[in-house]
Amino acid sequence: MSTEPISPIPDAECLHRLRHGDADAFEVIVRHFERPLRSWLATQTPPGVDSDEIAQKTFIAAYSRITEFEPGTHFASWLFTIARWQLKTETTRLRRVADYHARYAPDLLHLELQRNREALPDLVATRLDHLRHCVQQLGNPLSRYLQWRYYDEIPLDEMASLSGRSVAAVKKQLWLLRQRLQTCIESRMTPAPERTPP
């Protein structure tokens, strides 16, 4: 499996402008990294944490601390390190909020996500591309449920009403949808076996 590594921008001129507080120069950074960063954070943030909020904090922190970035080193690594810090900080803060426990559960999932936190951002970006492909391959009726659940965000009972099925049957369809997509991603992520010459 090959993944396109995230580009190590910015170049020397961009860095120079950033160090002089040029916000326009930073827009280039945000545009370049928002997709890999947001998608990576989406896979790493536990329930109850807004991954886009962490992404914004990460960019703001990077902008504010740009003088700490060492030219010649990998900018993406630096940015994702900040993101890990921001995520850890936010989850720590939320853990201290009274109503957090209920939103955070199940705690074991959180631990598992923590273990996976070193997952390469490039890998997540690849996974996202595969997921898009898998979504396009979905046929009816699962694509309807995908639309309702993730695009329209309608409640289960409304899906039941629209589909003429019970809520339990809707849940079953959602499970099948997620399983199908999961299997599809895994098969696309698995490297093809090398052919042996005849």
Do 67 and 119 meet the contact criterion of CB atoms below 8 Å apart? no
CA 40 centroid distance within chain: 3
Amino acid at 163: S
181 near another protein (CB under 8 A): yes
Do 55 and 34 meet the contact criterion of CB atoms below 8 Å apart? yes
d(CA 142, CA 160): 13
25 near another protein (CB under 8 A): no
d(CA 133, CA 137): 6
Candidates 9-17, 52-60, 69-77, 137-145: pick the segment binding another protein (CB under 8 A). Answer: 52-60
What token pair was written down for 163? 């589909």
d(CA 125, CA 131): 10
120 near another protein (CB under 8 A): no
* Maximal CA-CA distance, the chain: 66
User: Applying CB under 8 A, which of residues 75, 128, 142, 145 lies at the interface with another protein?
Assistant: 128
CA 126 centroid distance within chain: 11
64 near another protein (CB under 8 A): yes
22 near another protein (CB under 8 A): no
User: Applying CB under 8 A, which of residues 8, 16, 93, 161 lies at the interface with another protein?
Assistant: 93
Which residues, 156 to 175, sit near another protein by CB under 8 A? 156, 171-172, 174-175
Q: Which residues bind another protein (CB under 8 A)?
A: 21, 23, 26-27, 30-31, 34-35, 38-39, 42-43, 45, 48, 50-53, 55-57, 59-61, 63-65, 68, 85, 88-89, 92-93, 96-99, 102-103, 105-109, 112-113, 116, 124, 127-128, 131-132, 135, 146, 150-151, 153-156, 171-172, 174-175, 178, 181-182, 185
